[in-house]
Chains A and B, each alone.
Chain A
Amino acid sequence: MFDYDLNDDQRELGATARRVFEQAGGLALARELFETRAYFSRALWRTMIELDWAGLAVPEAYGGSGGGILDLYAVCLESGRAVVSSPLIPSSVVAAHVLVGAAEGNQRVAELLGRLASGASIVAPALLEPGGVWDERGVETRLERSGGTAKVTGTKVLVPFADVADRLLATVRDRDGVSIVLVDPAATGVSITPTDNLASLPLCAVVMEGVEVDELVGRAGGGWPQLAPALARGAVLRAAETAGAGERILEMTVEYAKSRQQFGKAVGSYQAVQYLCTDIGIASHLTDLLARRAAWLIDTGRPHQRAAAAAKLHASRAAAHMTQRAHEVFAGLAFMMEHDLHLFTRHAKHWEHDLGDVRHHGEELVEALQREFVDGSQR
């Protein structure tokens, strides 16, 4: 029967996630990680692994539990709500999806996928380059093949968890086009440098100079079609995190607007402030609806490009809009580090740009419109 809600199992998974993230420390943990520049909590990641979340969307044949994006959706609403930094989206979703597509008949990829699904390994997608372009035009890192060896030279930026990863999953280009390779971060010629960033997230610059790599993951020149659906999955889950964070921001802001008195009244009784609060609710709820539908389309194998791109484009805007609106209600109070809002604000800036920024998803959308309305096909 027609139903827009997550099912009982997914809601239960979400309730578990909320409890787990709260028990791990919730916003206090996020604050501690930020202040100590610890980047992420290994203890919490271990807990997530024990709950089988690292392999949640990996097929059972490769050691995962064969779940879908909607299952992870329930978790990501909560990881956004508690501002959790973890390898879940980059490794367990984006990298995992690319590996799943290449694992059949490729023993080494299948083994890596198994380690990823069990939580033993983190695979970091190394996609973005200094030009900041999320689509295949942004890939300038070179692949040189001669004889039996393949070497990679180029620079990747904002690579999540690169300094703790077992493998980097990198996009590279040669005359065939864009392909995907696995890079050993310990290999000669790789240098990894954490990048100072607003949220103190584990984002690294990766410079590769003549780094030897094994054979390609998937087909030569076929890298982008392998990656695009993985990016869509990751983007939808970032949108879920944004929506989850938005719910918490809304609660915090409304609570404050009800209690804070100025000119003898609660500030939440002023319509200017009410507009700010409703804006947060709208941005958050629409992000949730858009992303949930996109996740469902993905899980049911339906065309999802328009839905996923619209969800992430909206989520990117919402991430900035919701936090800005909240800052206006809290004014000076949340400009101070003691207040928790800045934790959301900082992470939201990452979510906004991660796995496709507004520019990227706008382009994805229009390409989909052209295919559908001008070329007459649908993807």
Chain B
Amino acid sequence: MDLTFSSEQEEWRDEVRTFLTAELPADFDWNSEYDEDEEGWAFALDFTRKVAGRGWIGLTWPMEYGGLARPAIDRFILWEELIRANAPVVNHIGWGLAANALLAGGTHEQKLRFLPPIARMETFWAEGLTEPDAGSDLASLRTSADWTGEHWIVNGQKTFTTWGTHADVLYLAARTDPAQPKHRGISIFCLDLRAPGVSFSPLHNIAGGRQNHTYFDDVIVPADCLIGEVGHGWDYIMGSFYAGGPMGGMECEQENRLAELTRWCSTVGRYGRPLIEDPYVRERLAELAVMTEISRVLSYEGLSNFLHRRPPRFGGALNTVVSKEMRPQFSQTISEIVGPLSQVRGESPAAPMTGRPAEWFLRGINNHAGGTPQVKRMVMATRGLGLPR
């Protein structure tokens, strides 16, 4: 057992930290829930371009596709530091799901065409998987792509399209063969969101961001924009969730909040004593500390499994179940410590910790993206423990 990083890796961590210190204001707070604040958005884009300028977006990709061919552990360290600094990195779908699917299933030409612009942060991607009637049961998606002999014609609707109106390209899953069993009839496309027939209607989420309904009305997609092989979309989708390797980082976000809260509890009084001396508060702080340690060990275990190519236990679902269930619990626990003023937002002078607990609470409600904890429990029970469906 060895949970240390090599001196080269620690130097790499220092390099990232130095960059972040230079580029981000102290105490920077970024709303990870897709804040539509114009200034914040512009800053996030600018910042992400600087990360791209270092080559760090495609850190682990092959050189020929715009990457630096660095090992997965460097990416883990990068993400620990990005999240520790609350860095506003955007375009997750581009360098995350889409790039992973392209790397796994794309042709050499497709990789050459799509990956370098993502690495340079020149194309912005949105996700086109979820539909109004295909959420947890994603494979029942109905958006269709029909082959005309020349190109694909896409019709249908996607939903919860985060940053859709900002994006250039959609990572789209569509049904290319309705006659096949539902998992086998799906293919993945890169769809140009400026193409005729694409339209959006806004969905505003409770944490202050805009997501969207996205509609396709006879949208033409060129043949070479189907990633990999027709009918293999489901495998690319599932593979792309994990292909990039572990990123870690949730523990860094929790550690930050725990530190801020502990300090705040030492400066604020209640019942005629510092809040930190209230036994109830201490008990709840301990709960937060345990949750933070849990995130840390899950991150490290994920990294270790990836590096040693060990299949994760429990069908790989335990980490997601625990992280997802913990997310609202963590912010709720903070709310209970902070007390009634935890509902006050930052604009008010009465807001504790400049209103962060209220924002954390709202963001904490999002534990559904990428699959609900309930679906992950089902995966853990059936694939992980072998219980019958």
Q: Tell me the complex Cα distance, A293–B292, Å.
A: 14
How many B residues, CB 8 Å from partner? 48
Complex: how many Å from CA A285 to CA B266? 34
Report how far A10 CA is from B1 CA in the complex, Å: 10
Residues in B whose Cβ lies below 8 Å from that of A271: 377-378, 381
Q: How far is the CA of A313 from the CA of B294 in the complex (A)?
A: 12
Contact A362 B282 (CB under 8 A): yes
A281 touches B286 (CB 8 A): no
Chain A residue at minimal CB-CB distance from B3: A296
Tell whether, in the assembled complex, residue A365 and residue B289 are in contact, meaning their CB atoms are under 8 Å apart.
yes
B386, A5: Cβ atoms under 8 Å? Answer: no
Main secondary structure of the interface of B (DSSP, over half): helix
Q: Which one of B73, B286, B318 has the highest number of Cβ atoms from chain A below 10 Å of its Cβ? A: B286
Distance, CA A313 to CA B1, complexed state (A)? 23
Say yes or no: A4-B3 contact (C-beta < 8 A), given A282-B318, A285-B313.
yes
Q: Is A165 an interface residue (CB 8 A)?
A: no
Say whether, besides A282-B318, A365-B289, A373-B263, A289 and B298 are in contact (CB < 8 Å): yes
Chain A, 73-122, CB within 8 A of any chain B CB: none
Q: How far is the CA of A81 from the CA of B258 in the complex (A)?
A: 35
| Cβ-based interface call for B314 (8 A) | yes
Closest A residue to B307 by beta carbon equals A2
Q: In angstroms, how far is the closest chain B Cβ from the Cβ of A365?
A: 4
Choose among B4, B289, B307 the residue with the greatest number of A CB atoms under 10 Å from its CB: B289
**What residue in chain B is nearest A364 (Cβ atoms)?**
B286
Say whether A219 faces chain B, with CB atoms less than 8 Å apart. Answer: no
Q: Is A275 touching B304 in the complex (CB atoms < 8 A)?
A: no
Q: How far is the CB of A24 from chain B (nearest CB, A)?
A: 28
Assess whether A307 is in contact with B293, with CB atoms less than 8 Å apart: yes
- Give bound CA distance, A278 to B276, whole Å: 35
A306 CB–B CB distance under 8 Å: yes
Residues of A near B298 (CB, < 8 A) are 286, 289
Contact indicator A369/B285 (Cβ below 8 Å): yes
How far apart are B55's CB and chain A's nearest CB, in angstroms? 23
Neighbour of A363 across the interface among B282, B293, B294, B300, CB < 8 A: B282
The smallest beta-carbon distance between A252 and chain B, in angstroms, is 12
Cβ contacts under 8 Å, A173 to chain B: none
In the complex, A313→B5 CA distance in Å? Answer: 27
Q: Is the CB of A278 within 8 A of B289?
A: no
Does A30 belong to the interface (CB within 8 Å)? no
Check if A274 sits within 8 Å of B285, measured CB to CB. no
Measured CA separation A309–B292 after assembly (Å)? 12
A313 touches B381 (CB 8 A): no
How far is it, in angstroms, between the C-alpha of A2 and the C-alpha of B304 when the chains are bound? 6
In the bound complex, how far is the Cα of B297 from the Cα of A311, in angstroms? 11
A residues 263-299 with Cβ under 8 Å of B? 265-266, 268-269, 271, 273-275, 277-278, 281-282, 285-286, 289-290, 292-293, 296
Closest beta carbon of chain A to B48's beta carbon, Å:
28
Closest Cβ of chain B: how far from A23's Cβ, in Å?
27
Contact of B318 (CB < 8 Å), options: A2, A273, A281: A281
Cβ of B283 and Cβ of A282 under 8 Å apart? no
Complex contacts, B296 vs chain A, CB 8 Å: 293
Whole-angstrom CA separation of A258 from B388 in the bound complex: 7
Q: Is the CB of A362 within 8 A of B286?
A: yes
B262 at the interface (CB under 8 A from A): yes
Whether A293 and B266, one on each chain, are in contact in the complex, defined by CB atoms closer than 8 angstroms, is no
| Bound: A271/B308 CA distance, A | 33
Closest to A253 in B: B385
| B residues less than 8 Å from A4 (CB atoms) | 1, 3, 300-301, 303-305
Please give, as numbers and ranges, the residues of chain A lying within 8 Å of B378 by CB-CB distance: 271, 274
23 A-B residue pairings within 8 Å (CB atoms): A3-B1, A3-B304, A3-B308, A4-B3, A4-B304, A5-B310, A254-B385, A254-B386, A268-B387, A269-B387, A271-B378, A275-B377, A277-B381, A278-B377, A282-B322, A285-B314, A289-B301, A293-B3, A293-B300, A296-B1, A310-B290, A314-B293, A365-B286
Given contacts A3-B307, A258-B386, A286-B298, 11 further A-B contacts (CB under 8 A): A2-B2, A2-B303, A4-B305, A271-B377, A274-B382, A281-B384, A292-B297, A296-B3, A366-B285, A369-B289, A374-B266
